[in-house]
Amino acid sequence: MPTTTTGSRHWLSEADCDLDELRALVDQSTDPRDYPLATSVEQNVLVYDSARLREECSTAEGRHRAQTEIARALMEGPGIAVFKDAFNDHAVVDRASEAFNALIEEERGAGHGDHFAKPGANDRVWNALEKTALRAPEVFADYYANDILALASTAWLGPGYQVTSQINVVNPGGAAQTVHRDYHLGFLTNDHAAAFPAHVHMLSPVLTLQGAVAHCDMPVESGPTLYLPHSQKYEPGYLAWRLPAFRAFFEDRRVQLPLAKGDAVFFNPALFHAAGHNRSAAIRRMANLLQISSAFGRAMETVDRERTANAVYPVLLHRRTEGASQQWLDNVVAACAEGYPFPTNLDLDAPVKGLAPPAQTDLLRRALEEEWTPEHLRRELRSAAERRQS
C-alpha cells in the first residue's frame, strides 16, 4: 500500500505533502531482476509480452507466479505495467471499435460531462460495457473473453471483480489532462478527501484497477497517457496532486510510452497520471478505459435509502427549527441517506459541476439549508434515482 519515507500517519492534510518525499520515491529505478516474467523496463515501466504470459499461465503454478508478480509490480514496484499485444486478435479489436464508433455517433451532441476534460472536447461513451453488450453481444463476448484482462484483474482484485468501461476518443488537437489520481479518493475535493483517515487513503487504491486498451496505434505525438512511476506509493498523494508544485514536478518527471493497437496497460489508481496532448494531424486516439472494481466494495444488506431519507426528513426539518446542531443533523443524514454518488449513470448524472454528481446526503443537506418541503425533496430524490438507472 502507499507509504512515505516518514511512515504512516493517522490523518493527512495538505501540510503533509512534502515534495522531497515524492521525489525520493520517484527516483527509484525499476529493477528487471525483480520481475523475471517481464521482457523489458522502459522509462521505469514494466513491459510484458502477452504471448509469454499466456505460456506461463498454462499451468496453475505458472498463473499463480504471474499473478504474484503483477500484484507486486502494481503495489511495490512502478505501479504500472504494459502488456504488449494483450488483444492479439486485432479483428476482435476492430469489431469492438466499430461498435464503439456507432455508440459515439448515436450520442454525438449530447453534451456529456467529462471528469478531467472540457465537455465536448473529446468523444466519450459512459457505460460502454452495458451498451456494447446490448448492441453487439457477440462482439462483447469475444472482447471480454480476453485472458490478459482477466489475469491482471484477478492479480490485483481477486475473484468476483466487476468491470466497467468508458470509451474515450481524443481527437487531433485534444488538450492534455492535468495530473490526477483516480477513483475513489481521486474524485473528491481535498477537504473531503482529508476527512478520511490515512488508512482509507491506503485502502482506496486496492479497491480498483485502472486499465486501458489501445484501439489504434498510439505514437507519442497522439498523446498516450503520461505516468509517474512509483508515485502510487506516496501516502498523501490524494491531497498532493492538485498542488501547483506537485503538478509542476509531474510535468518535469512524467514518462510517456507509445502503444500499438491491441496493447493494454494496467496501473494502480493512485499512480499520478494524465492523458497526453494529441499533437497529431489525423489520429483519433481511441482507448477503452477500464475501471475494474473489487467485489468487496458493497454493503451486506440492501437498504432503500431513498425511502428512508424521505421518512426521516420531516423530523430533520422540525428538529432544525427547534435548534438542533449541524452535527446532530449531519449524523442523522449520514445514517439515513446514501453518502456516495457512485455507481451512477454518467450519461444522465454527469459530473458537470465537479468530478462527481451529488449524493443523496448532499441533497438532504441542501434541502435542510433551503427548507424544502418534504414533497420537494421527494421529487428531487426520485429524479436523482432515475438519473442513476441504467
Domain parsing of the chain, residue ranges: 17-293, 305-388
Q: What is the pTM of this model?
A: 0.90
d(Cα 239, Cα 324) in Å, to the nearest integer? 32
Q: Distance (Å, rounded) from C-alpha 215 to C-alpha 106?
A: 19
Q: Residue 61 and residue 67: Cα distance in Å, rounded?
A: 10
CB 230 within 8 A of CB 79: yes
Grouped pLDDT means (10 residues each) for the chain, 390 residues: 58 98 98 98 98 98 98 98 98 98 87 52 89 94 95 95 94 93 94 96 97 98 98 98 98 98 98 96 97 89 93 96 95 92 91 85 96 98 95
User: What local confidence, expressed as pLDDT, does residue 212 receive?
Assistant: 98
* Residue 42 main-chain phi, psi, to 5 deg: -120, 120
Residues making up the chain, counted from first to last: 390
pLDDT of amino acid 6? 45
* Interacting residues of 127 by C-beta distance below 8 A, sequence separation 6+: 164, 165, 166, 345, 346, 347, 390
Q: For 89-98, give one letter per residue: b (16+ CB within 10 A) or e.
A: eeebbebbbe
The predicted pLDDT at position 351 comes to 82
Cα torsion for 336, 342, 347, 353, to the nearest 10°? 80
Given 3.20.20.80, 3.40.50.720, 2.60.120.620, 2.60.40.1930, which CATH number is that of 17-293?
Answer: 2.60.120.620
Q: What is the pLDDT of residue 298?
A: 79
